[in-house]
Amino acid sequence: VSDDPFALGCPTTVLHCTELSQQGVMAALRAGHGYVTEGPEGPSLITQVEGTPMGSVRPAPAPLEAETTGAEGDDLVLIADGREVARATIPDGGRLVLSVPDTATHVRAEIEARASRDQLIAQFRNWLDQHEIPRGELPAQGAIPPILRAMANPHYFGDWT
């Protein structure tokens, strides 16, 4: 595990491929069957709606099922049509089910640092102290915006043809 927030592979795109080949990777990219996470070690964020993966189209909204690893105590945030509609603390075991508004046309999930926030900020500040890069003053810890650790591709509802 690298303490370098700018190491190769940070952030990382994770794809769910039906086959491990160039064609399988391209098909998963085109279908939106994946998510972006802070690095190769995670956290992981797999979402489904009625058993269908990210990037899928369903006729109507249904609950979003999320399976995560490496993010216990952080928040799972549900974004529907561009706005936050639900937030829950990720429990041990990492499984959550969140309701999706009946009017949603698309929904996605994000992992936002809460339990890991102070550690991530300290890790980043430590990295900055060890590297000569031009920068202004860092904001006070309370002024640092939310830290997004992972973001899933959306699920779509209705007619997208």
SS3 label, residue 24: helix
- Least trusted range by pLDDT, from 21-30, 113-122, 139-148: 139-148
pLDDT the model gives residue 137: 65
* 134: pLDDT strictly greater than 70: no
- Backbone phi, then psi, for 71, in 5-degree steps? -140, 20
Q: Which residues, 6+ apart, have CB-to-CB distance to 106 below 8 Å?
A: 80, 81, 154, 155, 156, 157
User: What confidence score (pLDDT) does residue 160 get?
Assistant: 81
pLDDT at 31 over 60: yes
- 5, pLDDT greater than 70: no
Which phi and psi (to 5°) does residue 35 adopt? -150, 165
Q: What are the tokens at 101?
A: 């508004």
Backbone phi and psi for residue 128, each to the nearest 5 degrees, phi listed first: -60, -40
What is the DSSP code (8-state) at residue 109?
Answer: E
**CB-based burial, 1-27: b 16+ in 10 Å, e otherwise:** eeeeeeeeeeeeebbebeeeeeeeeee
Q: Can you give the pLDDT at residue 93?
A: 94
